[in-house]
Amino acid sequence: MKMSTKVVAIVGSYRKGGMTDAAIEAILSGAREKGAETHAVYLADQKLEFCTSCRECALAPGPQRGRCPLKDDLEPILSEIEEADAVVLSSSVSYGNVTAIVHGAIDGLLLLAMGTAGTQASCQSMQPEGGTGGFVGNAGFFDSTSQRRSEHAAPDGKSAGIEAV
């Protein structure tokens, strides 16, 4: 029986200590206050190769998730996500999109959603029962009720774009 909730944040910003970190720390701090075990994985600190779409991971026989043949830091990240009750994927905004390291990591994260040979897995079937996830971008959230962008100050006085949901 699991003693506490585990929340893993995948941080896709290149800069530590910025607005994305402030948003992630606010989320993880709130989770810790509720008794959760938390951990942040900084993608910029990991060695991640680009997915080559070889599909070796999806074609592995048996009921378990296949392993990526690339020799990088993806496998420990996937294992940590599988053990988590909640996952937060975050990115700063780069030219109107997620950062390149987040985009590349998403390809690898699809391993969690792909079925192995002879199975029909999907994103929903791989989600732990009661598990949840979310995405945090630091450009601010659009408040659809007032048609304005929500702005909240980070500890350093900059706009963190954090909106409680």
pLDDT tens-digit profile, the chain (165 residues): 457 899 999 999 999 999 999 999 999 999 999 999 999 999 999 999 988 888 787 777 777 777 888 899 988 998 898 899 999 999 998 888 899 999 888 887 776 665 544 444 433 444 445 555 555 554 443 333 333 333 443 444 444 444 333
What pLDDT shows up at residue 78? 87
What pLDDT shows up at residue 130? 53
* Residue at 155 is within a domain: no
Could you list the residue range(s) of the whole structural domain that residue 90 is in?
A: 6-150
Which amino acid makes up residue 17? G
Here the CATH number for the domain that contains residue 122 is: 3.40.50.360
What pLDDT shows up at residue 104? 86
Tally of domains within the chain: 1
* Residue at 164 is within a domain: no
CA geometry: angle at 49 spanning 138 and 91, to 5°? 5
Rounded CA separation 27/97 (Å)? 22
